[in-house]
Amino acid sequence: MSGQRLAKSRLMTYNIGGGRKDLGSQPDDVVRVIREVSPDILAIQEAASYQDADGVWHSLLGQVAQAGAFGNHAHFAPALSMREHMDVRKGLFVHGL
């Protein structure tokens, strides 16, 4: 191992509370915190999406990705929920074990 350098990566997980204003989770606030930490890999929980009255979809993940210069390197995956997935009769739950 002499002379070898280890690569380091900074991982950040961040629960943004679904973008709720009362939790300080507005896009500008979220981006500010992420920029302060400057992670190499970022995992965000509760990144809400919503449809406005005109039928246009808005994604907090998309807003954060664009503002944080992550560009097309952002991916979304739905969360497991107690109501929909955490049941031994459901295949996803059993497969996950």
The 10s digit of each residue's pLDDT in 19-76 is: 666 766 778 888 888 889 988 888 888 887 778 899 988 888 878 877 766 666 777 7
Residue 67 lies in a domain: yes
Asked whether residue 85 is domain-assigned, the answer is no
Q: Is residue 15 part of a domain?
A: yes
- DSSP letter string over 52-96? -TTS-EEEHHHHHHHHTT-TT-----PPP-TTTT--TTSHHHHHH
> Is 49 part of any domain?
yes
86 in a structural domain: no
Q: Is 93 domain-assigned? A: no
How many domains does the chain contain in total? 1
Q: Which residue segment(s) compose the domain that 31 sits in? A: 11-73
* 11 strand-pairing partners: 41
Record the pTM.
Answer: 0.64
